[in-house]
Amino acid sequence: MKWFLSGLVIAFVVGIAALPPDLLQKKVQQPIAFNHLVHKDLDCASCHEFVKEQAFAGLPSLDVCLGCHESAVTENPEEEKIRQLAAEGKPVVWQRLFRQPSHVFYSHRRHVTIAKLDCQNCHGKMGESQSPPQSVHNLTMEECISCHEAKGVRAGCVDCHR
């Protein structure tokens, strides 16, 4: 019986490892199908208010959205969801699309303000997307290290791991 259970566990682990990576990623459903491309003329900090001053860039609050969309700008039903949430007194509950391990400290301020990196360095062509990604992108150490090496920036363990 012990060998049978051990075999099942091994088969399960091997089976999970053989799955395509996109099946292992957490699926995301945003409350509003936000179109970054339509908003391309805005600075990222217009909606991600803390990107230049804090570690977390921030996700747009309902007040930020209402700053432009209190009255209809388009006939898009996604835009109407903003006013509907406001009428119901509910916040916009955005789902994060980029994650790093919990033991890693990443500062948007350090990368955006001090290092003067463009958002595209880590977030790719997000600003050109017409609909939100359907899965979370888990940032990897390899992505960070390759960027630090390319820019000639220190990449010691304690620089990021806290």
Q: What is the mean pLDDT of each run of 10 residues along the chain (162 residues)?
A: 58 51 69 95 95 96 96 95 97 95 94 95 92 91 95 93 87
Q: From CA 108, how far away is CA 35, in angstroms rounded?
A: 22
- Domain assignment present for residue 70? The answer is no
Is 139 part of a structural domain of the chain? Answer: yes
Q: In this predicted structure, what is the pLDDT of residue 23?
A: 46
List all residues 6 or more positions away from 91 whose beta carbon is below 8 Å from its beta carbon.
61, 62, 85
Is residue 27 classed as helix, strand or coil in its secondary structure? Answer: strand
Question: Is residue 149 assigned to a domain?
Answer: yes
- Strand locations in 77-128 (E): 98-99
Residue 108 placed within a domain: yes
The pTM of this model reads 0.77
Q: Which residue has the tokens 């920036």?
A: 153
Count of domains forming the chain? 1
Residue 94: CB atoms within 10 A of its CB come to 16
Is 78 inside any structural domain?
no
User: Residue 7 domain-assigned?
Assistant: no
Q: Which amino acid type is present at position 49?
A: E
pLDDT of residue 71: 96
Look at residue 69 and tell me if it is in a domain.
no
Domain of 121, in residue numbers: 24-59+94-160
**Residue 15: per-residue pLDDT:** 52
102 within some domain: yes
pLDDT for 158 equals 92
